[in-house]
Structure formats: structure tokens, C-alpha cells
Amino acid sequence: MDEEIYVSEPLSSRKVMEILEKHPNLKRIKCPPSIYKRTSSKYVDALSKLGVEIEPVIRKGRPKKYGESEIKIIEEMQKEGYNFQEISDKLHIPLKTVYYLNETPLKRGRTPKYTSETENEAKSLYKKGLSAREISEKLNIPLRTVYSFIKR
């Protein structure tokens, strides 16, 4: 069973009993420094007599859910040719987390339908005095898209 657990809520007599029942082989309880300071010395002494240490953890924030082993597995699967979606599905890890663990920036949504050259051409034609309708017909793009280009 667990020999070490992390507790993120204050230790009361009820909580200590609950922990000891769930984890009979417990050796160490880790908690944030703020909770360690609020823990009664009676609980610390009683637990130490039972062979359980309470230790404050300096690292702040929530403990990481995924560690080095998951990162290595993701790297191996990527080398084998799996894409991020397949890795996410097989490991049951959210897609955003797979990107985060791989330190790869997320791919943005849809690619634009029209290139930046088309957008720049529409803007230059508008500056030359052509109406949005004329630009739409000349470049063969919807009128609404021309208005969108002009507004940017």
C-alpha cells in the first residue's frame, strides 16, 4: 500500500483516523507548510509514536498529476509515429496535457481560407478606391470576407 501520502486539508483527529484506516502501512504524510503550522503538536507527537512523520513540502501548488514516466512514454510513442491525438486516446490523457508534457505549442484552430497575400491585395485595392463589391468580383471572394479584410 501507500507508505507516503499528500494531504491538502487540515489534520483533525477525525481526518487522522480516516487516513490511518485507509493507509495502514503509512510512514510519511506530506502537506503544505501552512497546514503543517496549523497542525496540533498533539497530533504530530501521536503520529510519530505510531511511526508516521508529518513533513511540510516546500514546493507550492498542486502536486503534478503526470510525471517523468508519462513524458518518456509520450516521447517514445511520438518516435514510433503516433500523433498527439492517438497518444491522448491510448494513454487516456487530455490532448492539451499531451502537448504540455511534450513542450510543444498547441496547434491553432482552422487555417485561414485566404492567404495573407489575398488579404493585402484586397486592402490595397480598397485604398486605390475600388468598392468592396468590385474587389469581391475581381478577386472572386465573398463580399463579407472583403469587409472583414478591410476592417482588420
Give 83-129 pLDDT, tens digit per residue. 999 999 999 999 999 988 888 766 677 788 888 899 999 999 999 99
Given this model, what pLDDT does residue 62 score? 75
In a domain, 110, yes or no: no
In the 8-state DSSP scheme, what is residue 18? Answer: H
In a domain, 121, yes or no: yes
Instruction: Give the span between the Cα atoms of 50 and 19, in whole angstroms.
Output: 13
Strand-pairing partners, residue 28, are: 4, 53
Q: Are residues 94 and 136 in the same domain?
A: no
For 18-35, write each residue's pLDDT tens digit. Answer: 988 988 888 999 988 888
Q: Are residues 50 and 10 in the same domain?
A: yes
In a domain, 124, yes or no: yes
Q: Are residues 51 and 10 in the same domain?
A: yes
How many domains, the chain?
3
Q: Is the pLDDT of residue 76 over 60?
A: yes
In a domain, 111, yes or no: no
In a domain, 61, yes or no: no
Range of 8's domain? 4-56
The size of the chain, in residues, is 152
Given this model, what pLDDT does residue 135 score? 93
